[in-house]
Every structure is written in C-alpha cells, then in structure tokens.
Amino acid sequence: MRVVSFLLFIFTLATFAESPAGKRPNIIFIITDDQGYGDFSCHGNPVLKTPNLDRLHGEGVRFTDFQVSPTCAPTRSALLTGRHEFRNGITHTILERERLTLDAVTLAQHLKSAGYATGIFGKWHLGDQPEYWPTKRGYGEMFIHGAGGIGQSYESSCGDAPGNSYFNPAILHNGKFVKTDGYCTDVFFRQSMEWIKSVKDKQPFFCHLATNAPHGPLIPRPEDEARYKDKVPPRVAKFFGMIANIDDNVGRLLDFLKAQALDRDTLIVFITDNGGTAGTEVFDAGLRAQKGTPWRGGVKAASFWRWPAALKPADVNNSAAHIDFLPTIAEIAGAPLTEKLKAQVEGRSLVPLLENPAAPWADRTLVTHLGRWQRGKAAESKYARCAIRDARWRLVCDNPKNEKRWQLFDLQTDPSEKIDVAAKHLEKVAVLEAAYDQWWTSVLPQMVNENAPLTGENTFKTLYREQFGTEK
C-alpha cells in the first residue's frame, strides 16, 4: 500500500504544474486589435489558418471563458490596472475619454520597481499627451503610434502622426518620431525583438507588444490578402490576411526566443482586446453579436498563457477577466502588491488556475458597459448597453435609449444567449440587478474625463510638425 500511495503522490505531482508564483520569468504580452474569439483555426474557424497562434494555444493554458471590454482602450486600461475601465476614467476611445487617469498605478510601473526592464511596441491608446505616455507610466522603452490606430486623428489630443499609413509608419520612439521601413505589424515585432536582445542578459523583461492589426482600415500586405482571395468576401480576405501576418510574426518570435535560449523561461500571454468584427461574417464561434455590444460576442476574448518551464497545457473553464491580469503577472513576477495597488485592484490572481485548472474558484460578478455616451451624459446612461454576470447567469440590457429592459441567460445551457429566462428566474434578476446598482453608484465619481476640455489639435500632429517642420 505504501508503494501505491507513493506512486499516486508522484502521479499527482506530475499532473499539475509546479507553482509559477515568484519565478520571475521574462514576460511577453501580445494583444491584437479587433481579432475575435472565432478568428483562430484552433477555435474552429473553417477558413482562417493560424498555425503559430494555434501553437500558443496548444502549448499553453487556455482560459475558455475570459472576459474583456466591448472596445479597445477600456480593455487595455483594465489589463494594466486590475480594475474596471470606468474606475480609470475611460468611458470611450476618443475625445479625451480614452486617457488613463494619472492616479492609477500600472502593471509596468509595478514591474519596473521590481527590477524588470519594461517596453511597449505598437498601440498604447491610453492618452497621447506627454504626461500620459508610456514613459510616464512605467515603460522604459516606448515605440508607439498615436490614437487607437495608425493614421487616426480627432479634434482632441487623440491622434496619430499626420499622413501615417500601415506601410512605413512614423513611430514615436522614446519621445522622438522615427520613420520606419515595412508593414506596421512586421515593424513592431522586429523592434520588440531588437529590444529584447538589448536587455535579456541584464534583467528580466516585460515586453508589451500591441498590434494595431487587424483593426480597420483593412490594409493588409498584398501577398497576405492573396492567401484568402476568392475564399471569403473581399473585406474578410483583407482582415484574414492581416491576421495571417500576425500569425507569421508570432512564429518568428517563437523561433527568435529559441535561438536566444529564452524559450523555456519566457511566459507569453496572448489576449484579444474585444469581440469580433469582420471575421464574424465567416465564423462567430457560436457567440451572439460582436465588438461594441454588451453580448458575449462583444466581450469574450482569447487568452493563451505559454511558459514551457512552468505551465502544462490545459483548458481553464472558470470565468476570468482582464482585471485579473495585473495581480496574476505581479504574483508570477514575485512582486507583491503595494498598499496602493491592493486598494486599486479589483481582480484576483489566476495563479491557482494556472497551477491546477480544477482549483476551487469562488464566484463573483463581472460588469460590462459599452460607455460611449454623449459628452456629459454619464448619469443618464446607466442602462445603455450593459451586462452583469456571475459564473452561471448573465443579465443583459442592450438598449441605447437607456431604458431598463433586462434579459437573463443561463450560460450553462445557453452560452450563445438565445433564450431569455428572466421571467422564470426573477430572484436571480433581482440579485444581479442589485449588484449592478451598487457598482454603478460606486463608479460614477471615478469617471474623471467626462468634462475634460478638448485640445483642438492632436498632440502627435503638433509634435511631428515641430520635429520635421512639415505635416507629411
């Protein structure tokens, strides 16, 4: 019996991963823009081929119920602060309402204080004025475009360098524009790998790699678009081509890490920033609606965590969210939360689930709100496209007119949110509505950007003109 018990003990140790807490790996965080949950071949897409993203999926821990926000800047702020975007002052993606409150502590600041080299490459979208730049938020290296996408510009501080395009874009590198050579996604991956080479032997690194692709305008490389020509509608062929290019770059990154002897000791986290867009015309993974809505199709994200030295491939089916990213990374990095961060963070560490996908996981509520109301209309927009859920139930109000019309869905039996069962479960509606009421009251005072004055000309345009004496 002692031999059997010993063998059972050894089997148990082999089944679950050793705890990743405090191991201080290198960390590469990849986030794409507008790639939906269905835009992966590993998630069942019948046309799109993503072999390298599939490899991250197959060799890592997959969170199959990972919730983000309905649009991009909100998600990014929640990932970097561990709390809901409205508490960060972010209720939109433009017009000064995309700026991450200066009172927030970011993940990069926390990791930098714990001895990590920190760098961001690609999309920031949390404030384009210098005081909001990544270099003021904990990043030692900054290589970014402006606004929510290359070439975008608004009548506010939010905007990119004038005349910018997806090919050979001008990029803000540590406060000065550099003119790059190549397609934007290739440029961001290439620059991030060069930076990794420069810091890898000095300290652990946190590389934040944020592509603007496959966000519109849909401008792929012609050879990537050609992969899907005549297989899907023209618009989707462009979109899929942009994802194919991302996938190729992920493959190059994996090869690079192996060549640099970094593969085993580097945690790669890949997350999508909101629900699907163009790709849903072909495959929606059984989800209702898409980006910009409170439905699961607007907020369900891919979440792959690959770390060969510490994590065993597995599916985690418990509900997780963007607000869990900061506390999880902090624990893995051996960087206990400061008292200020403890007060800020709403999420919880996912380390127990990374160790054991079947670990106990207490229930909680997670709130979605589209935001994007008219300027000054926050208090009147409580029910304008929102949702609240726990592990099983999801209460949704998809009403742009701010009329309270709750619908309830049982995610155990109806993950596609097709059958409203509110009339049959009034007690559950009441419980979730009460939690939502409490949440709304608590976040209203934290929406600090609602009445911010607009600047009139975007910051990147002004800086570009000052540097080059021209706007082209």
Query: Rounded mean pLDDT of 437-444?
Result: 98
Equal CATH topology for 20-355 and 366-446: no
* pLDDT value, residue 3: 44
Percent of the chain with pLDDT over 70: 96
Burial-class residue 19 by CB neighbours within 10 Å (0-12, 13-18, 19+).
Answer: middle
Give the fold, CATH level 3, of 366-446: Arylsulfatase, C-terminal domain (3.30.1120)
Global pTM value? 0.96
Q: What is the pLDDT of residues 137-188, one digit of tens each?
A: 999 999 999 999 999 999 899 999 999 999 999 999 999 999 999 999 999 9
- In 247-365, the DSSP E strands lie at 266-272, 300-301, 303-306, 314-316, 320-321
* pLDDT value, residue 472: 67
Q: Identify the CATH number of the domain defined by range 20-355.
A: 3.40.720.10
Query: Rounded mean pLDDT of 429-454?
Result: 97
User: How far, in Å, CA of 220 to CA of 167, rounded?
Assistant: 9
Q: What is the pLDDT of residues 240-275, one digit of tens each?
A: 999 999 999 999 999 999 999 999 999 999 999 999
Q: Flag whether pLDDT at 204 surpasses 90.
A: yes
Taking alpha carbons only, the member of 156, 123, 134 closest to residue 459 is 156
Q: What is the pLDDT of residues 209-241, one digit of tens each?
A: 999 999 999 999 999 999 999 999 999 999 999
* pLDDT value, residue 470: 84
Rounded to the nearest angstrom, the gap between the alpha carbon of residue 301 and the centroid of all alpha carbons in its chain is: 8
Q: Flag whether pLDDT at 15 surpasses 80.
A: no
Q: What is the pLDDT of residues 297-340, one digit of tens each?
A: 999 999 999 999 999 999 999 999 999 999 999 999 999 999 99
Q: What is the 3-state secondary structure (H, E, C) of 46-76?
A: CCCCCHHHHHHHHCCEEECCEECCCCHHHHH
Taking alpha carbons only, the member of 366, 381, 380 closest to residue 296 is 366
Q: Flag whether pLDDT at 8 surpasses 70.
A: no
Q: Flag whether pLDDT at 86 surpasses 50.
A: yes
Domain regions of the chain by residue span? 20-355, 366-446
Taking alpha carbons only, the member of 324, 413, 330 closest to residue 79 is 324
* pLDDT value, residue 10: 40
Query: Rounded mean pLDDT of 359-366?
Result: 98
* pLDDT value, residue 56: 98
Reported as a pLDDT band with limits 50, 70 and 90, residue 97 is very high
Minimum mean pLDDT range among 134-143, 275-284, 320-329, 462-471: 462-471
Query: Rounded mean pLDDT of 75-98?
Result: 98
Q: What is the 3-state secondary structure (H, E, C) of 220-280?
A: CCHHHHHHHCCCCCHHHHHHHHHHHHHHHHHHHHHHHHHHCCCCCCEEEEEEECCCCCHHH
Q: Flag whether pLDDT at 1 surpasses 70.
A: no
Q: What is the pLDDT of residues 33-68, one digit of tens each?
A: 999 999 999 999 999 999 999 999 999 999 999 999
* pLDDT value, residue 19: 85
Bridge partners of residue 84, in order along the sequence: none
Query: Rounded mean pLDDT of 462-472?
Result: 90
Query: Rounded mean pLDDT of 285-301?
Result: 98
Q: What is the pLDDT of residues 369-391, one digit of tens each?
A: 999 999 999 999 999 999 999 99
* pLDDT value, residue 452: 94
Backbone angles phi, psi at 392, to 5 degrees: -110, -40
Minimum mean pLDDT range among 9-13, 104-108, 129-133: 9-13
- Mean pLDDT for all residues in the chain: 95
